[in-house]
């Protein structure tokens, strides 16, 4: 795409924003990075803490193979370099929720090297420009615990449940130039992580959060001094933090001040950032190789297994939906934006093809339209998600098959669908019990048509005199007389014949 046109208009002219994101994503695993303690969200404080997590004397860390595997698979999904030799380092600092007095991380030799992600700036617009955002590295590290300051009037409590939880730190290059680009990058990264299954991407639960690096400069000039806003936990908040921080920096610079390299916090209630502490450099943490852990060496068999286990990724899936299934760019983009949506659609597609004895391409358009309009509309109305949908993919496919074979009309299908949402019953059962089968009995339909034409002789004369728009009136009257159960195609054919 062309260079971003997002600019901040200051008193001295235009300013450009430079953005990089460091995303901390909790690795999907039943155990922590260096211990067998559980990682379930919402557990009672200090109930998921091993002796290793609590840093008891003599306890030695042992790398969790699954955590390493998931990080490697993530790297492969973004076409990154996988480093077959990597090493753990100790990042030394004191904090009450860090019992070891250091964090085990990877500074000098990360597990994953350079990669990139292609983002679409407006997923609802098929012609929206795309941009490639560089990934500098992905390293694995352990999380710290959590301090709780609101449990006691004079004391802070420590919860070590998160201590030792495996994180992937995914560090982008400073390639983003607007809040929109940063939002698109974060959404796309979360989608990829969910497809791969390496992180659930639940930002509201803290399993994915972003440190937002922002600086400003006059277009074409060298990078300015950046600030880092820590632990922002939603795409919307990331975009708001960038907007506020960039404007704040422009105001400081234009009033003759200097930007201080510092760590800041984002206040979502006020949509503003505020200073937390001066930004430390690597030497402040006294990094050195962890003496308790051997370097990681990955063999070819391990890498081959990781690569083989990758699913079809969103960009590939979207292109396949367009080229092989004939879906529109918009529908393909929406269906592949979330892994759960794509899985639901493919289950609907497979069932539809099986029931109707057709290819998936033949049932794809009707299936996509029904899912995106009827089902999504109903779920939004009910405040539900696909995961707790009252209607299963198989039931949806059965409903679409009843329409396709002429058992019910599209209008009747809407009635049946509403009953399915309320009762959870299968569509065939509802159609049978409610007597909703569409009739294609030509004799019965001809009889009704004769009555409609007899009762509207004046309109018949007008139609035959050239007022062809009245044809829709006759169709409507016939369908109304038959309670919506007549086959519309048969009605149209017989009416044309009767009207001569």
Q: Which of 311, 317, 33 is nearest to 197 (CA)?
A: 311
pLDDT for position 279? 67
What is the end-to-end Cα distance of the chain in Å, rounded?
59
pLDDT at 290 over 90: yes
pLDDT for position 135? 98
Q: What are the distances in angstroms from CA 46 to CA 37, 104, 160, 405?
A: 11, 20, 5, 59
Taking residues 9-35, report their average pLDDT.
96
pLDDT for position 391? 96
Average pLDDT across the chain, whole number: 92
Taking residues 385-401, report their average pLDDT.
95
pLDDT at 103 over 80: yes
- State the pLDDT confidence band at 376, using cuts at 50, 70 and 90: very high
pLDDT for position 267? 94
pLDDT at 3 over 50: no
Residues in the chain: 500
Residue 411 or 216, more confident: 216
Which residues sit opposite 13 in a β-bridge? 10
Evaluate whether 172 touches 209 at the Cβ level (below 8 Å).
no
CA torsion through residues 262, 263, 268, 269, sign: negative
Residue range 43-66, pLDDT digits in tens? 999 999 999 999 999 999 999 999
Q: Which of 429, 415, 351, 340 is nearest to 376 (CA)?
A: 340
pLDDT for position 451? 87
Residue range 158-179, pLDDT digits in tens? 999 999 999 999 999 999 999 9
Residue range 314-330, pLDDT digits in tens? 999 999 999 999 999 99
pLDDT for position 434? 79
The 8 Å CB, 24+ separation contacts for 313-318 are 313/77, 313/192, 313/195, 313/196, 314/188, 314/191, 314/192, 314/195, 314/339, 314/342, 315/118, 317/342
Q: Please report, rounded to a whole number, the percentage of residues in the chain having pLDDT higher than 70.
A: 97
Q: What is the pTM of this model?
A: 0.86
How many Å apart are CA 363 and CA 358, to the nearest integer? 7
How many Å apart are CA 91 and CA 495, to the nearest integer? 82
Taking residues 264-278, report their average pLDDT.
91
pLDDT at 280 over 90: no
pLDDT for position 1? 39
Beta-strand relationship, 296-297 and 85-86: antiparallel
How many Å apart are CA 220 and CA 182, to the nearest integer? 20
How many Å apart are CA 62 and CA 52, to the nearest integer? 9
**What backbone phi and psi angles, to 5 degrees, belong to 49?**
-130, 120
Residue 448 or 201, more confident: 201
What are the helix (H) ranges across 337-407?
A: 339-356, 360-369, 376-382, 393-404
pLDDT for position 137? 98
pLDDT at 2 over 60: no
The two structure tokens encoding residue 474: 């006759």
């Amino acid at each position: 795409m062309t260079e971003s046109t997002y600019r901040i208009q200051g008193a001295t002219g235009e300013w450009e924003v430079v953005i990089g994101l460091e995303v901390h994503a909790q690795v999907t695993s039943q155990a922590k990075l260096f211990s067998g303690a559980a990682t379930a969200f919402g557990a009672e404080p200090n109930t998921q803490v091993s002796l290793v997590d609590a840093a008891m004397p003599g306890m030695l860390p042992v790398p969790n193979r699954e955590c390493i595997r998931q990080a490697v698979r993530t790297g492969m999904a973004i076409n990154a370099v996988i480093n077959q030799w990597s090493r753990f380092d100790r990042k030394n600092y004191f904090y009450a929720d860090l019992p070891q007095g250091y964090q085990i991380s990877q500074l000098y030799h990360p597990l994953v090297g350079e990669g990139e992600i292609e983002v679409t700036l407006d997923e609802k617009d098929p012609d929206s420009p795309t941009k490639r955002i560089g990934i500098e590295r992905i390293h694995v590290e352990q999380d710290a615990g959590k301090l709780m300051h609101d449990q006691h009037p004079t004391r802070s409590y420590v919860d070590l449940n998160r201590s030792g939880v495996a994180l992937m730190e995914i560090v982008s290059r400073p390639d983003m130039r607007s809040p929109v680009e940063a939002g698109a990058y974060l959404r796309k990264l979360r989608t990829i992580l969910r497809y791969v299954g390496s992180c659930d991407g639940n930002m509201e639960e803290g399993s994915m959060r972003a440190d937002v690096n922002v600086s400003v400069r006059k277009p074409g000039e060298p990078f300015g001094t950046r600030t880092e806003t820590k632990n922002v936990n939603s795409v919307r908040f990331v975009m708001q933090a960038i907007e506020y921080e960039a404007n704040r920096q422009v105001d400081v610079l234009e009033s003759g001040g200097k930007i201080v390299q510092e760590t800041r916090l984002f206040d979502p209630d006020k949509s503003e950032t505020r200073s937390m502490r001066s930004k430390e450099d690597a030497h402040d943490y006294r990094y050195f190789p962890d003496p308790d852990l051997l370097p990681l060496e990955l063999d070819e068999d391990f890498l081959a297994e990781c690569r083989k286990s990758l699913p079809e990724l969103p960009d590939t899936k979207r292109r396949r939906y367009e080229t092989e299934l004939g879906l529109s760019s918009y529908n393909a983009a929406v269906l592949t934006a979330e892994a759960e949506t794509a899985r639901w659609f493919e289950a609907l597609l497979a069932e539809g093809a099986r029931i109707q004895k057709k290819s998936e391409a033949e049932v794809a358009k009707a299936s996509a339209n029904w899912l995106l309009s009827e089902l999504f509309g109903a779920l939004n109305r009910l405040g539900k998600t696909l995961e707790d949908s009252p209607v299963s993919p198989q039931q949806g496919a059965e409903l679409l098959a009843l329409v396709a074979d002429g058992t019910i009309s599209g209008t009747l299908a809407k009635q049946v669908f509403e009953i399915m949402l309320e009762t959870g019953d299968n569509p065939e059962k509802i159609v049978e019990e409610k007597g909703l089968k569409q009739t294609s009995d030509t004799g019965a339909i001809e009889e009704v048509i004769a009555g409609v034409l007899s009762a509207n002789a004046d309109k018949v004369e007008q139609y035959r005199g050239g007022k062809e728009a009245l044809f829709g009136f006759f169709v409507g009257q016939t369908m109304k007389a038959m309670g919506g159960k007549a086959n519309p195609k048969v009605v149209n054919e017989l009416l044309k014949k009767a009207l001569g």
